[in-house]
A and B are shown apart, each in its own frame.
Chain A
């Protein structure tokens, strides 16, 4: 019996022509062929190895997330392991210079903690190595005038002055930070006070300062947050308001541009009231004050007198690629880039 000329169905033709199967046998073969692809799915339905997609219901966007989370974990760990530790003030009051192995909270394993009043003075009691492979808790101000490589987190409970080249995994400073030597931070830098950058620094991920950041040396970064970020020197925005009206250009409302956007002004003072959104490179240079957010699907270049944001408010500069800042620039808020960016004061 010829049932097909189709080569794809030839196998079935062969079966029908040569094997002389009974109807029930054909039905059985069909059932088996139909069922084979269902074996794995049914097994997966039975065992349900994966659960629902995880949605973090507690997630809230916060630039100090890494530092705050780590500090909370630290406080929890120390209060669980040591007597009389209830707050960060209690940690500051620890007198001993000790190396302890403690279990982290939330089942995050165990690690060694070096708790000391003065790290530089007391580290030699523990090790002579330049590579420090335990967590350091410096309970007072600190001046680092020797080079170290810190493989684990460093937490300074006062001010920190960096006078020698150091590499940190992550650095948390609860006071002010002075960077006077070349420095590298692989993960995050969290500072509760002011930051003065007098020498080159490279920050792998996020750089947070709750007060201000003053930049006088090149900074490589991806994300920076501070209520005031000043590159090179401060710019007084009042001069935009005090100049004669014919020297002032005011652009109100949000602005969206499909191509490149270049706003450069040397003589006149340009005030942009709304958000600036651009699908390509966005460049602001000279006397330009963008009072709201600046956003680009490519790169952002800010230079020579640009101000972004308004005092006592937080605004953002966000680019899918780089945010390059050259010379005198002031930003009130947050700078976010997906690629490594640079501030060149």
Chain B
């Protein structure tokens, strides 16, 4: 019996190491592509005087601290106001969000708040309802803590001249980089994710991801695809796979940069990672088979799609791998000089370190011209362990969701904006 267990654990570790190595190769391909590969041209260089009518949706739940900033930035946008409606979606707010939004609406006719106090709370539910009242042929989505650059809407809309493009995704840049170690780390992690990962996937015509904010999608396609699944927390990933499985594409635009507020607290970050993992793994369970069977995707897109689907599941399997190594050790099958644990640790960190491995972070830092902040990379060891644990918890949540058929509850990420920032925004009104 013990021998069978040992054999099983060894096979498991071997398979895991192969998977982690494949992820490492994937990340190397992306990094080399960004450093040395032929780059594709963006549509945003097009200047077109014909612009479509668009609706900007901003899901909000108790956002009184931050909503001034995004609304003021959208008021200052250069998109023609007669072709624009801004719909802040007040989703069951209990603070002063409703009053502040109504005050804005009384001043600006193109701001049309959508107050939602019935039905289930949650971003996907709020957007599903708000799309019904939106008049734009293109739906743009921003989270409430974002700051929109003046020319971004025009640049974003141009991607829809491509008939294959059903959604566009921009780049998220943390505004509070200097707040603490966590925000610095998240900033570098985001850089690697967008500057290298997303960009390479777009350049290589793979599966760039619609990220749910700083993004836009065609309203008719969205409705035809059945809108967001209310049971899935990662509505953005779900839409990505729906789009690709139906023969459309997601375009990633690195130059559509937008500031967001990164979590400044480890507890909040843990909840965020766990929620993302839970949502992403819900998508994995839903689209794993359809992806393999799809006749709309090329083989290379299917492979990339599988890598993407499993990205939040692999940490759980890696964690099991560590336990498997320990069990083997205590069963006396591994001496301390064995390569199993050593190799697993190396591959895990190399391929899975903090979602973006260290060489991808360095590549992003080179491309962004950052010389000094990249030096904090050794500290990412702590983040790797942290992510490993909370992502695994998210995986377990998703499995329980499937078994118990329970409905997930959306937990909003806490905002950290200081009172003085809010006052500064008020003065700009």
B336 within 8 A of A: yes
B96 within 8 Å of A by Cβ?
no
A175 close to B (CB within 8 Å) = no
A47's closest neighbor in chain B, by CB?
Answer: B372
- CA A171 – CA B208 in complex, angstroms? 42
Taking a contact as CB atoms under 8 Å apart, the answer to whether A277 and B378 are in contact is no
Distance A61 CA – B368 CA, assembled complex (angstroms): 21
- A44 contacts B by Cβ under 8 Å: yes
Binary per-residue interface labels of chain B (167-209) against chain A in the complex, 1 for a CB within 8 Å, 0 otherwise: 0000001111110010010010001000000000000000000
> Would you call A183 an interface residue if the criterion is a C-beta within 8 Å of the partner chain's C-beta atoms?
no
| Complex: chain A residue closest to B44, CB-CB | A61
Cβ–Cβ contact B259 & A55, under 8 A: yes
B293 within 8 A of A: no
Partner of B163, one of A42, A52, A256, A297: A256
Min CB gap B37→A, angstroms: 13
A320 touches B372 (CB 8 A): no
Q: How far is the CA of A48 from the CA of B375 in the complex (A)?
A: 11
A60 touches B375 (CB 8 A): no
Interface residues of A in 3-57 (CB under 8 A from B): 3-6, 9, 37-38, 40-45, 48-53, 55-57
Residue in A41, A51, A275, A293 whose Cβ sees the most chain B Cβ within 10 Å: A41
For the complex, is A117 an interface residue (Cβ under 8 Å from B)? no
B149 touches A59 (CB 8 A): yes
Residue contact A318 to B46, C-beta cutoff 8 Å: yes
Q: B82 contacts the other chain (Cβ, under 8 Å)? A: no
Complex contact B149–A41 (CB within 8 A): no
Our pick among B45, B46, B48, B173 for the contact of A52 (Cβ within 8 Å) is: B173
The distance from the CB of A56 to the nearest CB of chain B, in whole angstroms, is 7
Does chain B have a CB within 8 A of A336? Answer: yes
Segment among B21-29, B150-158, B389-397, B418-426 that sits at the interface with chain A: B150-158
Residues of A within 8 Å of B177, CB to CB, are: 51-53
When the two chains form their complex, are residues B337 and A52 in contact, meaning their CB atoms are under 8 A apart? no
B147 within 8 A of A: yes
CA distance in complex: A254, B368 (Å) = 35
Residues of B within 8 A of A318 (CB): 41, 43, 45-46
8 Å CB interface, B347-397 against A: 368, 370-373, 375-379
Chain A residues 307 to 345 lying within 8 A of chain B, measured CB to CB, are: 313-316, 318-320, 333-334, 336, 338
Known: A45-B184, A297-B40. A314 touches B150 (CB 8 A): no
Contact of B47 among A37, A53, A55, A225 (CB under 8 A): A225
Interface string of A231-262 (1 = CB under 8 A from B): 00000000000000000000001101000000
| A58 at interface by CB-CB < 8 Å | yes
Contact among B176, B337, B368, B377 with A5 in the assembled complex (CB-CB below 8 Å): B337
Q: Does A295 contact B (CB under 8 A)?
A: yes
Asked if residues B155 and A61 are in contact (CB atoms below 8 Å), the reply is yes
Determine whether B258 belongs to the interface, using a CB cutoff of 8 Å to chain A.
Answer: yes
B41 lies within 8 A of A53 (CB):
no
Inter-chain contacts of A297 with B (CB < 8 A): 40-41
Q: Are A50 and B371 in contact (CB under 8 A)?
A: yes
Residues of B within 8 A of A9 (CB): 337
> Bound complex: CA of A37 vs CA of B382, how far in Å?
13
Closest A residue by C-beta to B41: A320
Q: What residues of B have a CB within 8 angstroms of the CB of A53 in the complex?
A: 173, 177, 187, 191, 257, 368, 370
B73 at the interface (CB under 8 A from A): yes
Q: Is the CB of A52 within 8 A of B154?
A: no
Q: Are B372 and A49 in contact (CB under 8 A)?
A: yes
Contacts of B147 in A (CB 8 A): 55, 57
Give per-residue flags for B26-52: 1 if the beta carbon is below 8 A from chain A beta carbons, else 0. Answer: 000000000000001101111111100
Please determine whether A277 and B173 come into contact, CB atoms closer than 8 angstroms: no
Tell me whether A52 and B174 are in contact (CB under 8 A). yes
Q: How far is the CB of B365 from chain A (nearest CB, A)?
A: 10
B residues near A38, Cβ cutoff 8 Å:
378-379
CB distance from A89 to the nearest CB of B (A): 27
Q: In the assembled complex, which residues on chain B have CB atoms less than 8 Å from the CB atom of A48?
A: 178, 184
Taking CB atoms, residues of chain B closer than 8 Å to A314 are 47-49
C-alpha spacing A40/B110, complex, angstroms: 51
Chain A residues lying within 8 Å of B47, measured Cβ to Cβ, are: 61, 63, 225, 314-316, 333-334
Indicate if the CB atoms of B40 and A44 lie closer than 8 Å. no
Which one of A41, A277, A333 contacts B375 once the chains associate, using CB atoms below 8 Å? A41
Chain B residues near A40 (CB, 8 Å)? 375, 378
Give min CB distance, A314 to chain B, whole Å: 4
In the complex, what residues of A have CB within 8 A of residue B181's CB? 45
Q: Given the complex of chains A and B, what is the CA–CA distance between A191 and B52 in angstroms?
A: 30
Q: How far is the CB of B43 from chain A (nearest CB, A)?
A: 7
Q: Are A295 and B149 in contact (CB under 8 A)?
A: no
When the two chains form the complex, which single residue of A41, A49, A57, A292 contacts B379, counting CB atoms closer than 8 Å? Answer: A41
| In the complex, B1 has a CB within 8 A of chain A | no
| Cβ-closest chain A residue relative to B180 | A45
Kindly identify which residue among B50, B162, B376 contacts A41, using a CB–CB cutoff of 8 Å.
B376
Tell me the complex Cα distance, A58–B177, Å: 20
A9: min CB distance to chain B, Å? 6
- Are A4 and B151 in touch, CB under 8 angstroms? no
Please indicate the chain B residues that have their CB under 8 angstroms from the CB of A61 in the complex: 44, 47, 151, 154-155
The answer for the CA separation of A295 and B370 in the assembled complex, in Å, is 33
Which residues from chain B contact A256 at a C-beta distance below 8 Å? 162-164
Q: Knowing A225-B47, A320-B41 touch, does A55 contact B173 (C-beta < 8 A)?
A: yes
B46 and A316: CB pair below 8 A? yes
What's the least CB distance linking B309 to chain A, in Å? 26
Residues in B whose Cβ lies below 8 Å from that of A50: 370-373
Chain B residues positioned under 8 Å from A60 (CB to CB): 78, 150-151, 154
CA distance A49 to B374 in the complex (A): 11
The 4 A-B residue pairs with the shortest CB-CB distance, nearest first, are A60-B151, A52-B177, A4-B337, A320-B41
Q: List 20 A-B pairs, Cβ < 8 Å.
A: A6-B337, A43-B375, A45-B379, A51-B177, A52-B259, A53-B187, A53-B191, A53-B370, A55-B258, A56-B149, A60-B78, A60-B150, A60-B151, A61-B151, A256-B163, A293-B161, A297-B40, A318-B45, A334-B46, A336-B46
Additional pairs, 9, CB under 8 Å, beyond known A48-B178, A292-B161: A41-B379, A48-B184, A55-B259, A58-B150, A59-B149, A295-B46, A316-B48, A318-B41, A320-B40
A residues near B (Cβ < 8 Å) are 3-6, 9, 37-38, 40-45, 48-53, 55-61, 63, 225, 253-254, 256, 275, 277, 292-293, 295, 297, 313-316, 318-320, 333-334, 336, 338
